[in-house]
Amino acid sequence: MPRQSVKSIGVWSVFKFTLVYYLLFYLVVCVMFGVIYVAIMLFASAGASSKDQLNVFGALAGGGILGALIAFFAGLLASLFYAAISAIGAAIYNLIGLITGGIELNLIDKGQR
């Protein structure tokens, strides 16, 4: 059974990986909440007259746009922040790995179990 150890982690690769991960996660969350919001607006306006329905969808195009843009950019900044935190964690692991020698991994071939 070969024994290997992880002595360091590429900080830049961790940053890139986690940035893409958090951006994709944020995109999924935005789409999910957007679908839920539109569904709620459709159900809320189902019993309303056509004039009231235009007012409900007017909120999507008017006053709600600024709040949506702020939330969107806040999510992008949060993704960037969490990716930076992950990169800092990788750098801290590298410093600790210098002292302790890293994490030891025991690897086996797929044929051996």
pLDDT in tens, 59-102: 555 556 777 778 788 889 999 999 999 999 999 999 999 999 88
The answer for residues whose C-beta is within 8 angstroms of residue 48's C-beta and 6 or more apart is 56
Q: Is the pLDDT of residue 9 over 80?
A: yes
**Average pLDDT, integer, range 100-105:** 86
* Sign of the torsion formed by the C-alpha atoms of 58, 61, 67 and 68: positive
Q: pTM (2 decimals)?
A: 0.69
- Domain boundaries of the chain, sorted by first residue: 10-83
